[in-house]
Amino acid sequence: MANTYTQIHIHYVFAPKYRKATLDKSWRPDLFSYITGIVQNHGHKMLQINGMADHVHMLIGLRPTQSVAELIKEVKEDSSGWINENRLVRHHFKWQEGYGAFSHSKSQVQRVIKYIQEQETHHAKISFLEEYVDMLKKFGVEYDERYIFRVLE
């Protein structure tokens, strides 16, 4: 689009169904590369991706050609298919319904990149659920605790 200039930074957070710790450290880098390819194939820029066995963080330079919801839908559908096709888990893999998406200004980008890079250090001190609820509170997002990344019942 001629004469269209944007700077949209979105920090996504999402988890495997029931927050199961199924994202094995041995193949997580390949998953992150695959997800990066999905993002780039849709014309966006992956600024940082990382995560733990039970969740993923990614910071995207989002183009206005696709909505926040459409992109995460594509990422989840395509990456769960990749996990299942490669038989990386014993059961049928699915992502948890829902996600977090938080916007950041240009001045915050380097801090968010560092935060995402340092997930292992961060999660030695705080659980994913605590981290996620803290993010929702920090951004002033109203939420219902019944729908915060359900655990296996």
Q: Write phi, then psi, for 9 (nearest 5 degrees).
A: -115, 120
Task: Please give the model's pTM, rounded to 2 decimal places.
Answer: 0.88
**What is the per-residue pLDDT across 89-126, written as a single tens digit (0 to 9) for each?**
999 999 999 899 999 999 999 999 999 999 988 888 88
Q: With a cut of 90, say whether residue 127 has pLDDT above it.
A: no
Band of pLDDT at residue 34, cut at 50, 70 and 90: very high
Domains of the chain and any CATH numbers:
9-147 (3.30.70.1290)
- Residue 89 one-letter amino acid: V
Number of H helices, E strands in the chain: 5, 4
Supply the pLDDT for residue 146: 73
**What is the per-residue pLDDT across 54-101, written as a single tens digit (0 to 9) for each?**
999 999 999 999 999 999 999 999 999 999 999 999 999 999 998 999
**What is the per-residue pLDDT across 139-153, written as a single tens digit (0 to 9) for each?**
888 888 777 765 544
